[in-house]
């Protein structure tokens, strides 16, 4: 069928008659949760929804590498024409993103249903407090490859789901820092930099551990983000959302984690993704609130859709009730970040290695006992039993820096690499250049060992580096790139620029050309220098 015919058919099928009233339905609803929406289902649903209400419009986040527009729904009452209209607005901006992994599809259905139901309410209380941004389909390339062979262990939808990767074979939830995909570039520039949502939730499906709760979720964890925000999330916001979801909406839920051994759940509940390549952690580095939602892979599709639906509602309930406090807190954290960069103290540091410890309080997970079984070929595997078992165990999610470097006043970059500059600017980082030549004391990084990984990771032989910082006084030419840390995105800038972080420009090969001389042994100095103490530098913005 050609696209137009598919579009027409989808439009016809998007409605059903309910008591004489026409109700817009998702592909999941009209198939009794046997199918998930394909691209044209989603786009048709959105355009029909736009006809029902003047409080919604659509923007485009990006065009995928296979040529599909990634939609962004903007819902507000009144509907803001641009972010500038929200400058003195009391409402809080919340962004829900779904289908980043296109095999994990319930967020897509739940977000569309939620938008429809919210707009069909006569006088939705939520819209007095929230401007809601929704991307129901972040990875259309992956979504268009719907097949029953994708994620076969997942409990539905029986007619199949898409694949994890986008059209470039990239995992978009590893692309937060290097931003190589149009989708991630688009969400950074057209959602995060443009609308600056206070809260962002990324919707996924879990991969394995057995438990009863259909919904799990957790907060951003990278300790180079603001600890004030991490503590707020883990001590107040996430527990309260969890209670609302259970008590008000009757959805069992727990914080996201995995058992390290299903045979010994007592060992603990582990969250092992602290890097900012993951979108929710990336958002934390930006001094904003990031939530990772993972719905339980073995819960049936309909249960997962409704679980996610009510999680969205619980998030918006919380954001509505606490909008002023959250907005004020984010402003304060930005100001604190800028102030630190104006005059970094001896105690200001930046983590380059992390360890995890459990939270002071244990968590309760309703799990099942598992058995070790041996098949006819002698292969052993772990199988879930029907014997339910509730465990109260340590939650390993409190990441802390086990190795630090000094947090500087500024970074000076001595190579004018357009890709590097574009990436920094794309993230929203303020980039300047020296107006005049300058001779100043700095710390330079002397490399002693540089290794590429043996196996490609997201198309990269990622680097690990060893070396040490040395004090030196260096002549910098006019035009040397300057990144001051007195800016709200300083934590993100440091993560990208420090040589020893696990998710920066060094890791992802951006500086490879500048490190190894053509002849001889050894290395060039790493091309980013640290100005440790406050100093007067004359700079001009880099356009």
Min dist. Cβ of residue 195 to Zn ion (A): 23
Min dist. Cβ of residue 302 to Zn ion (A): 20
Binding residues for Zn ion, how many (CB under 5 A)?
3
Nearer to Zn ion among residue 104 and residue 106 (C-beta): 104
Q: In this structure, what DSSP letter does residue 99 have?
A: -
Contact window for Zn ion (CB under 5 A) among 80-88, 99-107, 121-129, 232-240:
99-107
Lookup: tokens for 460: 């990269």
Other residues' Cβ atoms within 10 Å of the Cβ of residue 374: 9
How many helices (H) and strands (E) in the chain? 14, 23
Distance of alpha carbon 197 from alpha carbon 327, whole angstroms: 10
Distance of alpha carbon 60 from alpha carbon 91, whole angstroms: 22
String marking each residue 103-122 x if it binds Zn ion according to CB under 5 A: -x------------------
Nearer to Zn ion among residue 101 and residue 151 (C-beta): 101
Nearer to Zn ion among residue 28 and residue 105 (C-beta): 105
Asked if residues 270 and 257 have their Cβ atoms less than 8 Å apart, the reply is yes
Burial class (CB in 10 A: 0-12, 13-18, 19+), 514: middle
Min dist. Cβ of residue 8 to Zn ion (A): 33
DSSP 138-174: S-HHHHTT-BTTSSTTS---TT-B--SS-TTS--GGG
Q: In this structure, what DSSP letter does residue 123 have?
A: S
Nearer to Zn ion among residue 135 and residue 442 (C-beta): 135
Nearer to Zn ion among residue 104 and residue 433 (C-beta): 104
Contact window for Zn ion (CB under 5 A) among 68-76, 98-106, 252-260, 477-485:
98-106
Min dist. Cβ of residue 409 to Zn ion (A): 38
101 belongs to the binding site for Zn ion (CB under 5 A): yes
Residue nearest to Zn ion (CB): 204
Other residues' Cβ atoms within 10 Å of the Cβ of residue 256: 27
| Start-to-end CA span in the chain (Å) | 47
String marking each residue 474-513 x if it binds Zn ion according to CB under 5 A: ----------------------------------------
304 belongs to the binding site for Zn ion (CB under 5 A): no
Nearer to Zn ion among residue 131 and residue 163 (C-beta): 163
Other residues' Cβ atoms within 10 Å of the Cβ of residue 373: 11
String marking each residue 180-209 x if it binds Zn ion according to CB under 5 A: ------------------------x-----
Nearer to Zn ion among residue 185 and residue 204 (C-beta): 204
Distance of alpha carbon 486 from alpha carbon 475, whole angstroms: 23
Min dist. Cβ of residue 239 to Zn ion (A): 23
174 belongs to the binding site for Zn ion (CB under 5 A): no
SS (H, E, C) 247-274: HCCCCCEEECCEECCCCCHHHCEECCCC
Nearer to Zn ion among residue 276 and residue 428 (C-beta): 276
Nearer to Zn ion among residue 202 and residue 503 (C-beta): 202
Q: Which of 374, 218, 382 is nearest to 284 (CA)?
A: 218
**Residue numbers 217-246 binding Zn ion by CB under 5 A:** none
Contact window for Zn ion (CB under 5 A) among 93-101, 150-158, 385-393, 504-512:
93-101
- Applying CB under 5 A, the residues found at the interface with Zn ion are 101, 104, 204
């Amino acid at each position: 069928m050609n696209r137009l015919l598919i579009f027409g058919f989808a439009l016809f099928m998007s409605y059903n008659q309910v008591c004489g009233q026409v109700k817009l339905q998702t592909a999941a609803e009209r198939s009794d949760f046997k199918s998930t929406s394909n691209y044209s289902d989603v786009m048709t649903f959105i355009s029909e929804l736009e006809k029902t209400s003047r409080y919604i419009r659509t923007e485009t986040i990006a065009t995928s590498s296979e040529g599909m527009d990634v939609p962004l729904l903007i819902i507000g009452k009144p509907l803001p024409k641009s972010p500038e209209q929200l400058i003195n607005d009391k409402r809080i901006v919340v962004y829900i993103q779904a289908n980043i992994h296109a095999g994990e599809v319930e967020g897509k259905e739940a977000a569309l249903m939620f938008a429809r139901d919210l707009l069909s309410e006569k006088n939705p209380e939520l819209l007095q407090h929230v401007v809601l941004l929704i991307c129901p389909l972040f990875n259309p390339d992956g979504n268009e490859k719907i097949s029953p062979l994708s994620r076969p262990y997942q409990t539905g939808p029986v007619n199949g789901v898409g694949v994890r990767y986008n059209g470039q074979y990239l995992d978009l939830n590893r692309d937060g820092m290097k931003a190589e995909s149009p989708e991630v570039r688009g969400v950074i520039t057209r959602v995060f930099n443009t609308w600056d949502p206070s809260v962002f939730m990324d919707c996924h499906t879990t991969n394995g551990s057995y438990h009863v709760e259909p919904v799990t979720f957790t907060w951003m964890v990278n300790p180079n983000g603001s600890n004030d925000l991490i503590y707020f999330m883990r001590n107040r916001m996430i527990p309260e959302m969890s209670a609302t979801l259970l008590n008000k909406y009757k959805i069992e839920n727990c914080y996201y984690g995995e058992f390290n051994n299903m045979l010994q759940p007592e060992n603990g509940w582990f969250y092992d993704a602290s890097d900012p390549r993951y979108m929710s952690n990336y958002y934390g580095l930006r001094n904003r609130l990031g939530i990772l939602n993972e719905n339980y892979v073995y819960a049936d599709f309909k249960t997962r859709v409704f679980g996610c639906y009510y999680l969205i509602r619980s998030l918006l309930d919380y954001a509505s009730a606490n909008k002023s406090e959250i907005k004020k807190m984010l402003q304060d954290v930005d100001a604190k970040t800028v102030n630190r960069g104006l005059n970094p103290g001896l105690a200001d540091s930046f983590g380059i290695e992390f360890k995890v410890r459990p939270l002071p309080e244990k968590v309760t997970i309703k799990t099942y006992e598992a058995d070790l079984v041996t098949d006819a070929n002698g292969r052993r595997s772990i199988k879930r039993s029907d014997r339910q078992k509730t465990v109260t165990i340590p939650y390993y999610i409190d990441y802390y820096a086990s190795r630090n470097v000094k947090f500087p006043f500024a970074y000076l970059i001595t190579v004018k690499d357009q890709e590097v500059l574009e990436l920094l600017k794309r993230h929203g980082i303020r980039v300047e250049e020296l107006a005049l030549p300058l001779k100043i004391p700095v710390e330079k990084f002397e490399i002693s060992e540089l290794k590429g990984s043996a196996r490609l990771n997201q198309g990269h032989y990622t680097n690990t580096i060893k070396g040490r910082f040395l004090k030196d006084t260096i002549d910098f030419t006019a035009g040397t790139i300057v990144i001051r840390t007195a800016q709200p995105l300083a934590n993100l800038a440091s993560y990208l620029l420090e040589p020893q972080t696990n998710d920066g420009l060094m890791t992802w090969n951006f500086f490879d050309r500048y490190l190894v001389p053509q002849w001889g042994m050894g290395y060039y100095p790493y091309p980013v220098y640290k100005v440790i103490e406050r100093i007067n530098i004359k700079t001009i913005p880099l356009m």
